[in-house]
């Protein structure tokens, strides 16, 4: 029982002494390297897909943030212009009751406008959040499926 094991050990030792690597050891090493390369290629592909998905999510979030900030800037410009126009009208008023009426009308219009503006920003924010959620969900599903298919 020990003779075959001893014989193999002696063959390996003598092969090592002359620098010869047995064929079966080379075959195992080559097979291991090929399998490692295949696994690396698959994992690298999944990783690249995941990075692309993250880039898409960040791009969508950035685009959404830009839409919201542009809307806020437009609202601010509109509100400042309205306030300046109202101030000019009030400054031209000939009586206090006329000035008070102009001020009250301005405040009523602004309150309605701010309500509309707030609703619009809320709708944009909800749309951006929904798109981001859908992008993340798609990325998660795609990455999971790609990873599962590599095995």
Domain ranges of the chain: 46-150
- pLDDT bucket at 1, cuts 50 / 70 / 90: low
What does the pLDDT look like over 16-66, one tens digit per residue? 777 777 788 888 889 999 999 998 988 888 888 888 888 888 888 888 899
Residue whose token pair is 């001893």 = 6
Backbone CA torsion sign across 66, 69, 75, 79? negative
Residue-wise pLDDT tens digits, 85-107: 999 999 999 999 999 999 999 99
Rounded to whole angstroms, how far apart are CA atoms 51 and 76? 37
Angstrom CA distances, 22 to 17, 27, 55, 64, 122, stand at 12, 9, 49, 63, 72
pLDDT of residue 104: 96
pTM over 0.75: no
């Amino acid at each position: 029982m020990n003779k075959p094991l001893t014989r193999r050990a002696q063959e390996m030792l003598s092969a090592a002494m002359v620098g010869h690597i047995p064929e079966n050891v080379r075959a195992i090493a080559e097979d291991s390297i090929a399998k490692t390369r295949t696994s690396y290629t698959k994992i690298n592909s999944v990783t690249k897909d995941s990075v692309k998905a993250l880039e898409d999510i960040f791009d969508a979030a950035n685009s959404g943030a830009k839409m919201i900030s542009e809307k806020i800037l437009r609202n601010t410009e509109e509100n400042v212009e309205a306030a300046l126009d109202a101030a000019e009208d009030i400054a031209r008023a000939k009586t206090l009751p006329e000035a008070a009426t102009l001020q009250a009308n301005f405040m009523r219009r602004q309150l309605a406008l701010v309500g509309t503006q707030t609703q619009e920003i809320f709708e944009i924010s909800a749309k951006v959040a929904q798109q981001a959620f859908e992008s993340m969900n798609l990325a998660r599903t795609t990455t999971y499926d790609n990873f599962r298919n590599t095995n």
